[in-house]
A and B are shown apart, each in its own frame.
Chain A
Amino acid sequence: MTRHVDERLIPYLGGELAPDEAREVQGHAAECPACRKTLAELERLAADLARTVPPPIHWGAYRAELRDKLERRGQARPGLLHRWIWPPVSVALAAGLVAVLLYASLPGGNGRGPIPGDQAAIENSILASRLDLISRLELVQRLDLLEDLDVIGGLDRLPLRGEG
């Protein structure tokens, strides 16, 4: 009789042996009562473990609860929501502010050129409202900040010290 095959019984049951090795195990088990018994017991054990099923569950409720948990987790950890919501907001905000600043700093952009002051202010607010998200920001909503844009726009017209 060939050597006992205990060590190879589990890979054999898992179908992980090469065909010739598997045949060797089968051949040995056919002749060896001890290995045959072990093989039968392991087979039954594996089958018993496999056939136990968990209590049934309602999958619709399961998914609804999962969505709830995901939402709550998102609220509890703003980091996650920030990854979704804030990058577009901050990009839009930055772009909006740059546009407003550029517009205001252009010659004539603040009412001292061909565009009258009131019209420039209206166009600034149209620009801001088109960006929509900006309207949600208290900073931009504060008029005194918008007034400061006039100062910024007029910086290049301020006389340098020593000049004049």
Chain B
Amino acid sequence: MDSLDLSDEALCRRVAGQGARAFDLLVERYQERAYRIAWSILRNQEDAKDCSQEAFIRLHESARTFAGQAKFSTWFYRILVNCCLDHRRRGRGWRRLLAWRDRDGGETADSDPVEREPAPFVDPGDTLDEDRRMSRLWKAVEELSPQQRAAVLLSCREGLPTKEIAEVLSLSEATVRVHLHRALIRLRRRIGSQP
């Protein structure tokens, strides 16, 4: 059978058998999703690129541990989200230090040169208010706990059902529902009915 017709799961088994073509195909199938998810968690292009590539490297290294019981996408998203959350945990230390330095210098966090760039918005009809709202929204997303953030992004942006999010985050479905509820209620409070 042509590799192009193979399922993700079959390709992953071929990667475990050192199939270079299978690996390339999986990368092509998942690169955009991986980058998009990484970017929504990390909010930085370079970091998102690095983390999504790191997830592919980990996939390559651990393909043989893919048992085939879960869907490939769920298994891969778990690797990816862990990469991103690890990255954030590692980055938090120095970022806090720089924020502290700037506070001493009387600058606000917003003027911090390492503060993440505001995301570019694609809606051509963007108004300043709309920009502000989106900027506030993503700032509020960053303030969520890592698991709440991952849950809400996987749900709202990737359309993953609760069951799959639970598998990705290694949590129970009930816990994911609580995370989603708390996260969205919190975001709503933060930006709620503001324009």
- For B, the interface residue count at a CB cutoff of 8 angstroms equals 44
Asked if A52 contacts B61 (CB within 8 A), the reply is no
* A41 contact set on B, CB distance < 8 A: 188, 192-193
Q: Flag whether B77 is at the interface (Cβ < 8 A).
A: no
| Cα distance, A73 to B53, chains bound together (Å) | 12
Name the residue on A nearest B160 (C-beta): A14
Stretch at the interface among A57-65, A125-133, A138-146, A148-156: A57-65
Interface string of B11-55 (1 = CB under 8 A from A): 000000010000010011001100110011000010011000100
| Cα distance, A110 to B62, chains bound together (Å) | 48
- For A, the interface residue count at a CB cutoff of 8 angstroms equals 30
Asked if A54 contacts B53 (CB within 8 A), the reply is no
Q: Majority SS of interface residues in chain B? A: helix
Which of the residues B48, B49, B162 comes within 8 Å of A11, measured between beta carbons? B162
Which of the residues A53, A65, A80 comes within 8 Å of B122, measured between beta carbons? A53
Asked if A49 contacts B152 (CB within 8 A), the reply is yes
Asked if A54 contacts B184 (CB within 8 A), the reply is no
Name the residue on B nearest A14 (C-beta): B155
* A54 contact set on B, CB distance < 8 A: 35-36, 39-40, 45, 48, 119
Q: Flag whether B81 is at the interface (Cβ < 8 A).
A: no
Q: From residue 101 to 143 of chain A, which have CB atoms closer than 8 A to chain B?
A: none
* A14 contact set on B, CB distance < 8 A: 155, 161-162, 180
| Cα distance, A84 to B63, chains bound together (Å) | 14
* B24 contact set on A, CB distance < 8 A: 63
Interface string of A61-95 (1 = CB under 8 A from B): 01101100110010000001000100000000000
Asked if B161 contacts A73 (CB within 8 A), the reply is no
Q: Flag whether B138 is at the interface (Cβ < 8 A).
A: yes
CB distance from A36 to the nearest CB of B (A): 13
Q: Flag whether B10 is at the interface (Cβ < 8 A).
A: no
| Cα distance, A63 to B32, chains bound together (Å) | 11
Asked if B53 contacts A45 (CB within 8 A), the reply is no
| Cα distance, A95 to B181, chains bound together (Å) | 63
Q: From residue 15 to 42 of chain A, which have CB atoms closer than 8 A to chain B?
A: 16, 37-38, 41-42
Q: Flag whether A164 is at the interface (Cβ < 8 A).
A: no
Knowing A49-B153, A80-B61 touch, does A57 contact B192 (C-beta < 8 A)?
no
Q: Which 9 A-B pairs have the closest CB atoms?
A: A54-B39, A49-B156, A46-B156, A66-B53, A55-B45, A50-B157, A41-B188, A53-B122, A52-B119
Q: What are 10 pairs between A and B in contact, CB < 8 Å?
A: A16-B161, A42-B188, A49-B156, A51-B123, A54-B45, A62-B53, A63-B24, A63-B31, A66-B27, A84-B18
